Amino acid sequence: MRADAVQASADKMKSFDFQNFALRALIVLAGGVAAALFVLKGQASALPALAVGATLGVCAMMRYGPSAE
């Protein structure tokens, strides 16, 4: 059972997609910039809503996948 999990993990690493990683990194960066702008403009009370929205977005990406096809 454990060997199957290790093999599945190794297969995922072999199929590393740089475009997928770059897109996820860009989304995280955009969220950080949005949070910084909220704080700088004095709208820090909006940060919890931003965090909830980001969490829902992550859950949707996990469920439906990053496939662009």
Q: How far apart are CA 43 and CA 60, in angstroms?
A: 26
pLDDT of residue 49: 84
The structural domains of the chain, with segments of one domain joined by +, span 17-64
Q: How far apart are CA 1 and CA 18, in angstroms?
A: 29
Q: How far apart are CA 51 and CA 67, in angstroms?
A: 24
The amino acid at residue 18 is F
Residue 65's φ and ψ, nearest 5 degrees, are: 85, 160
Residue linked to tokens 């403009």: 41
pLDDT (tens digit per residue) in 8-66: 555 555 666 788 788 778 888 888 888 888 888 888 888 888 888 888 887 777 777 65
Torsion of CA 38, 41, 45, 46, to 10 degrees: -30
